[in-house]
Each structure stands twice: as C-alpha cells, then as structure tokens.
Structure 1
Amino acid sequence: MSPYSPGRRRTAIGALTGAALVTPFLTAIPAQAAPCHLSGNTGSCNGTVHQPGSPGGGGGSGGNSGGGDSGPVAPPDPVGLNPNQGEGFVQVPGNQAPPAPAKPATADLVAQAQAAAAFPVPIVHTSPKGKTFVRLRTSLWVDGFDVVKTEPITVGAQTVQLTGEPATVTWDLGEATHTCDNAGSQDGKACGYTYKRSSAGQPGGAYQITATIRWNVTWSCEGADCDLPGDDLGQQAMPSAVTPLVVGEIQTTTGQ
C-alpha cells in the first residue's frame, strides 16, 4: 500500500488529533501542593512532599538546590523590641544616667530649721534682790535677751537659716504685768516697777514673778534652688522659771 494512501492518512490524522486533545488537558490541571510534613529527611516545606526513591524526589536531595532536607526557618527577631518590657515599660539607654532626685521644697527646710531652733530661757534679776518694798522702784532685767541664729541647713543649691531678733520682755509681777522693749538694767532706768501692795497675803508671802522674752523670727534662703528668698515667721516666746519676790511695807515711826 502506498504511504500516502487514504487509509493511512486517516489513521495518522486520528492519532495527532487524540494527542492534541490529551496534552492541553494534562497541562491545564495545576499540581496541588501536599501539606507540609517533616519527619527526618522524608519531608519538605517547599511545596511538595517526595518519598525517597519516588519520581521527582531528586529536587530535595541537592546540596544547594533548596531541597527538602532543610528544617523550618525561624522568623527574625523583632527589631527594636525588648523581650522583657511590658506595658508601660520605658526603656532607658544603657549609657544614660538616672534622673536626679527632685529638690526639696524650701518650706520643708524652714520647718526643719524651726524644729531645731533653740531659744534661751530668760534668767530673772531684780534689785533689791529677793525682797523689795511698796512704793520703792524695783529694777528689773533678764539674761538671754540676745539675737538667735540657727545652724544653716544646706541641701542642694539652697541654704536656709532662721534669725530671731529679741523684741520685748513681758513681766508677770503677781500684782500686774509690765512690758519693756529691752532687757532692762540693774539701775532701773531701762525697766522697773513700783509695787503698790505687799505680798503678805500671797501663798508663801511672796509674788511668783516670771519674765517672757519674745523674738521676731524670720528665715532666709540663699541659692539657685530657693523657692523664696525669705519671709516672716512671727514671734517666738520663751518664759523664764518662776522666781519668788517678797514685797514688804516700810514701817515708819513718828516721835512724840
């Protein structure tokens, strides 16, 4: 039979037509990736799983071909995050010094100076000493009528100090009260008092007298951290111990 006979041409055309129909069908179906299973060297996460010895399995055994023998790749560490930090955590660079403590309020240092202030207890003196007489001027004076300064308190850039200026001495003389604006003197010219009644009717036959010094107290602050340069704290009073004073009457006689 001739190679170009009609029967042979029909057979060849049929074979080509069948092949043309089968090839597009095979290429139109995409390969579905098998799930990733890792077990020893038998699995891969590169999209397909190949069993050893199976067709197409050589792709996983190549040294530099990205084969399936490599393990899972861990995600990179988050950049700039501290694994120990929680909500509200503020990360301080390692070379940064901690913040300086807050400076104390000046008022707190003033209160500290007040608590440590020591004002002298006045010591009472009279002339005549211990016993005087009605209608006789009695001299009065005290020790301790002095300027008082506390020890300076320095914290940071501020120094606080209290100053007490003696202002008055108030005398409680039993019969009356009497105020002098000075310490008094032995001669009676600065401060004195004249009794009008004797002390005979008093407990123990004497007046119990005291002297109270009052200081005008101020504070000052020097330094860059001071809230204020200073202010007035009012008066500070310090009484003396009780001192008895007998007041008698001068007896006069007239000749016949």
Structure 2
Amino acid sequence: MRAAGAAATVIAVACGWLVQNPALADEGKVICDGKGACWLVAADTQDSAGQPGRHGKPASSGGRSLKKPKCRDGLQSNVEVPCTLDGLGTWSNAHNCYFKAAVPQPPDGDPAREGHATDDGAVYNAYCPNNPNMRSMWFAQPPTGAAAAVDPKVLALQAVKKMTLLGPDIGIAPKPGGKGVVGMPVWMWANESPNAWGPVVASASAGQVTVTATAKVSKVAWSMGDGSKVVCNGRGAAYKAAFGKRDSPDCGYRYDLPSSSAPSGKYHVTATATWAIAWEGGGQTGQLTEVRDNAVDIAVAEVQVLN
C-alpha cells in the first residue's frame, strides 16, 4: 500500500485493513497495530528490539514536525523506499535508482563506459523501478550512497585472480633421476621464489574503493607416494652433501619400503602449498585461502647385503 500521509493510513484502518508495516507520512511514519491504534513517529525511530518505536502523538491529532525519511522516490509522489537492497546497491534520490559498482569494471572501449577510460570514474549497475530500460551508468564520482555498495570481498577475489600463484618449486633429496635408500633420510624443501612462495601482491578497484591483497605460503603438505603425509610449516632446509646422513631439521621423511613396491616403480611425491591471503580496503580487512600443488617422482632402493 502506498500512502502519502497519516490520513491515508487512518482511512485504511477504518476500512478493516490490518497495517503491519510502517506507512510513509508527511511528518514521519504511521505505526498501526491489529487493534487499529496508530502512532506517528520519526522516520528513523527504533525500539530496543529493532522495530519502529511507539512514541509521539496519535495520528489523528496531526502530530508534530518530525525528521523526514532520507530515501524517497521522487517520481512516485516521494514514496519512501529502502535505502539499500541486497544485490542492488544503494538508493540515489537524485536519480531514483539503486546503484552498485560493477565488478569487474568494463574495459576501455566498452559502450557502458560512455567513452571514458578505466582510470576515469566507474560504471555502476543500475536498478531503476521507474525506468526498467536503465541497466548501467557511468559516473565520474560515485552517486549518492553508491560507494558503500561496493563489496570489498568481491574486489579481494578479483585481486587474487590477477595473481599467478603456483605450486611449490620442489627441492628434494634424493633428487629425481637419482636413487635413495630405504631407511635413509629424505629431505624436502620449497625453493624460494615469489610466485611459488610469495609474497605476491595485487589490487582491484571499483569506483573509489581499492582492495589490495597479499599472498604468502603458510604451509606445505607433502604426500610421499606410499600413503604417508608430512606437513611442513616452513620452506624446509635445502640438503647439502656436507650434511651426510643427518635428518632434515624441519621437513624430512624415511621410507620403509622400496619404490619398486609402487605401481610405477617410483614414489610420486606431491607438494601442496596453502596460500594465506590477507586483504584490506574499503574500510574492511579479511583472509582468503588458495591451494596449489606440484609433484616429482623419486626412486628408493633397498640395500642388498652380500654374505
């Protein structure tokens, strides 16, 4: 029901309609219960339970001058509208539309940009109840309230898509192509490189909101090819010949059986990196996780004892 004032609400109640929601009044909101009792309240009045409060004079008395709603549809006799709608963005009184920044932004040359470059303003998706043909609009500056409709989490995901995150650059002893021995130490490590270990930094923007994400590997899980797994929280120490038969101090393993017991005759070792991604922007912060892997094959022999 669209009512322009308290009188319309009173008439509606008199006709037997049960008004369950606040109706727009020239001086605020009219609240009516199932018994027909009505109150005129300020447009933004709330009680402790988050419901419109029941304060002020009865609607039939004319009330007093109260704060007017902020969001109104000027093409529909200034009917009050929700200031935000999920998925549609924030209302602009000046345009009688909801706007939400498009993510991702259309590229240069896209008609939606109206001849403007990507570094010049932004395109906003539009929902206009009185103009269903309106789909988008370019603005040099965010329309009223539309900047708040940019979801930083969505921009964070866009930033991650710009990153080249790889599986670990595997280091292992014995080396692929060489041969280890059952019961002897195996050393595993991840070679340090930006796209295989981090940090990797990328940003994404919509309108005046920019989100920057930074990705680093937090741990590497090693699947040893014989059913066992080893989780290493650091890169692991690289093996050197001078270490001899010592165990790795932070990322190692020993095989109990030769790789001839595996179907391929070698152990297929897979290293899976967990990328921890911290992002910030648009007044928010958050965490994301990505997983990447890489693999090598190694041979492990059994020592033959001669009598």
With normalisation by structure 2, the TM-score equals 0.45
Letter in 1 for 2:290: Q
Matching residue of 2:100:
none
Q: CA deviation at 1:137?
A: 0.3
Alignment of 1:78-117 (within 5 A): 100-101=142-143, 102-103=146-147, 104-117=150-163
Asked whether the 8 Å contact 1:116–1:150 carries over to 2, the reply is no
Letter in 1 for 2:278: T
Matching residue of 1:239:
293
Matching residue of 1:194:
254
Change in Cα spacing, 1:100 to 1:89, as seen in structure 2 (3 Å) is farther
Q: Does 1:182 align with 2:242?
A: no
Change in Cα spacing, 1:204 to 1:98, as seen in structure 2 (3 Å) is closer
Q: Does 1:160 align with 2:211?
A: yes
Residue 259 of structure 2: SS of its match in structure 1? coil
Matching residue of 1:127:
173
Asked whether the 8 Å contact 1:220–1:231 carries over to 2, the reply is yes
Change in Cα spacing, 1:98 to 1:120, as seen in structure 2 (3 Å) is closer
Q: CA deviation at 1:253?
A: 2.4
Letter in 2 for 1:181: N
The answer to which of 210-219 and 106-115 deviates more is 106-115
Q: 2:185 aligns with which of 137, 149, 154?
A: 137
Residue 118 of structure 1: SS of its match in structure 2? coil
Letter in 2 for 1:237: V
Q: Give distance in 1, aligned partners of 2:185 and 2:232.
A: 15
Q: Give distance in 2, aligned partners of 1:99 and 1:209.
A: 53
Q: CA deviation at 1:99?
A: 8.3
Residue 165 of structure 1: SS of its match in structure 2? strand
Q: Which runs of 5+ in 1 are unaligned?
A: 1-86
Change in Cα spacing, 1:231 to 1:248, as seen in structure 2 (3 Å) is same
Paired positions, count: 156
Matching residue of 1:252:
305
Matching residue of 2:202:
151
Q: CA deviation at 1:148?
A: 3.1
Asked whether the 8 Å contact 2:222–2:270 carries over to 1, the reply is yes
With normalisation by structure 1, the TM-score equals 0.54
Q: Does 1:217 align with 2:277?
A: yes
Letter in 1 for 2:164: A
Residue 152 of structure 1: SS of its match in structure 2? strand
Asked whether the 8 Å contact 2:225–2:267 carries over to 1, the reply is yes
Q: Give distance in 1, aligned partners of 2:293 and 2:258.
A: 24
Q: Which runs of 5+ in 2 are unaligned?
A: 1-74, 79-93, 95-138, 240-247
Change in Cα spacing, 1:100 to 1:135, as seen in structure 2 (3 Å) is closer
Q: Give distance in 1, aligned partners of 2:253 and 2:222.
A: 10
Letter in 1 for 2:237: S
Matching residue of 2:221:
170
Matching residue of 1:203:
263
